[in-house]
């Protein structure tokens, strides 16, 4: 007589797989060499004309979005340079400059492998960073896009949604973590590498060192990105912020960059600022001055 199948033959019980998230509102580039070449051809035809002036504007589609393709070898920088050599436009020159930075970072890391986790030069004293407990809290609100600074929060939320962030926002969000929240650059770089689909060790780590002022040919430590000024300049109508921070969609125009100046009812679900930028900028500069003495 045949009885019930033994338990081992009945399969492994599980809760099943979750439903795939709906990503209808995301505009993610297609993968593969053919798609990369198609995007590059479109950039050559239509995108280079305004690239020099508009590449830092996250509210515009002014960049190539080829960084994942370069990272994963779907297109080679020499291919791009060969095509750019046929143009004398300002846009072509600006694009070549960006590629040069990419190669520069790779060369620095080749000669200094420890730069992937160690500052090439120290610009702030050891006691300028927050305690471990405060660091964890700072990283949490920063990573979640809940700092109370809309331009910063929009960038961090785009990262979580798309695995990509506009290049200028990478600098602004990095500066905020290092110089407003006083968290060492290595912590932010590690977070980016976990989320970025174009996460490339030399580009990511050395860009973080550039912002921190610790790398080769880096921005001076006393350059602190003002998240409000950056937002008003590069997202003048607030289009980018409202795209990624839905709590602020009811605020028109550039006012979206300073919601704390409006009645609380204008954005009741948006968090208050976690720090005062002007005060934390002074703290960061004072720390640098102590190191310089």
**Pair 270, 247: CB distance under 8 Å:** yes
Q: Cα(first)–Cα(last) distance of the chain, in Å?
A: 90
Residues 169 and 60 in one domain: no
pLDDT tier for residue 255 given thresholds of 50, 70 and 90 = very high
Q: Is 79 annotated as a binding residue?
A: no
* 180-227 residue pLDDT tens: 999 999 999 999 999 999 999 999 999 999 999 998 876 676 789 999
Domain count, the chain: 2
Stretch 173-179: mean pLDDT: 97
Query: Which three-class secondary structure state does DSSP give residue 277?
Result: helix
pLDDT grade, residue 290 (50/70/90)?
A: confident
Residues 207, 104 share a domain: no
pLDDT at 12: 46
Pair 231, 97 in one domain: no
Residue 18 has pLDDT above 60, yes or no: no
Whether residue 66 is annotated as binding a ligand: the answer is yes
**Dihedral, 231, 235, 237, 239 alpha carbons, nearest 10:** -110
Give, in order, the Cα–Cα distances in Å from 23 to each of 166, 168, 194, 195, 290.
19, 24, 20, 17, 48
Is the pLDDT score of 148 beyond 90?
Answer: yes
CA distance 238 to 253: 6
The response to whether 175 counts as a known ligand-binding position is no
> Based on the domain organization, do 130 and 96 belong to the same domain?
no
| Per-residue model confidence as pLDDT tens digits over 43-56 | 888 878 889 999 99
Q: Is 67 annotated as a binding residue?
A: yes
In a domain, 28, yes or no: no
Q: Is 63 annotated as a binding residue?
A: yes
Is 217 assigned a ligand-binding role in the annotation?
Answer: no
As a whole number, mean pLDDT of residues 75-93 equals 92
Gap between the Cα atoms of 152 and 173, Å rounded: 5
- Is residue 255 a part of any domain in this protein? yes
Higher pLDDT, 144 or 22: 144
Report whether 64 belongs to an annotated binding site.
Answer: yes
Out of 94-103, 115-124, 170-179, pick the least confident: 115-124
231 is in an annotated binding site: no
CATH (domain of 169) = 1.10.579.10
Is 190 exposed, middle or buried (CB count within 10 Å of its CB: 0-12, 13-18, 19+)?
middle
Q: Which residue has the higher pLDDT, 52 or 174?
A: 174
């Amino acid at each position: 007589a045949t009885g019930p199948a033994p338990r081992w033959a009945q399969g492994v019980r599980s809760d099943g797989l979750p439903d795939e998230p709906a990503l209808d509102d995301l505009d993610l580039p297609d993968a593969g060499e053919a798609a990369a070449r198609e995007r590059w051809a479109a950039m050559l035809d239509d995108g280079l004309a305004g690239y020099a002036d508009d590449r830092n504007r996250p509210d515009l589609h002014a960049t190539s979005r080829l960084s994942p393709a370069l990272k994963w070898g779907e297109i080679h920088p020499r291919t791009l340079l060969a095509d750019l050599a046929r143009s004398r436009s300002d846009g072509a020159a600006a694009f070549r400059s960006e590629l040069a930075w990419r190669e520069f970072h790779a060369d620095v890391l080749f000669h200094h492998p420890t730069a992937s986790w160690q500052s090439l030069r120290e610009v702030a004293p050891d006691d300028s960073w927050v305690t471990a407990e405060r660091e964890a809290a700072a990283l949490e609100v920063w990573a979640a896009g809940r700092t109370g600074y809309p331009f910063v929060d929009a960038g961090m939320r785009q990262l979580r949604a798309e695995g990509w962030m506009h290049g200028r926002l990478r600098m602004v969000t990095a500066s905020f973590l290092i110089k407003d929240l006083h968290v060492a650059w290595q912590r932010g770089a590690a977070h980016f590498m976990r989320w970025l689909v174009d996460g490339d060790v030399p580009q990511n780590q050395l860009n973080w060192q550039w912002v921190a002022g610790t790398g080769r040919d880096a921005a001076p430590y006393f350059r602190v990105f003002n998240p409000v000024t950056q937002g008003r300049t590069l997202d003048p109508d607030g289009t980018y912020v409202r795209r990624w921070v839905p709590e602020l969609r009811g605020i028109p125009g550039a006012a979206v960059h300073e919601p704390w100046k409006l009645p609380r009812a204008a954005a009741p679900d948006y968090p208050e600022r976690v720090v005062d930028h002007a005060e934390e900028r002074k703290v960061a500069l004072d720390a640098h001055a102590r190191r310089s003495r």
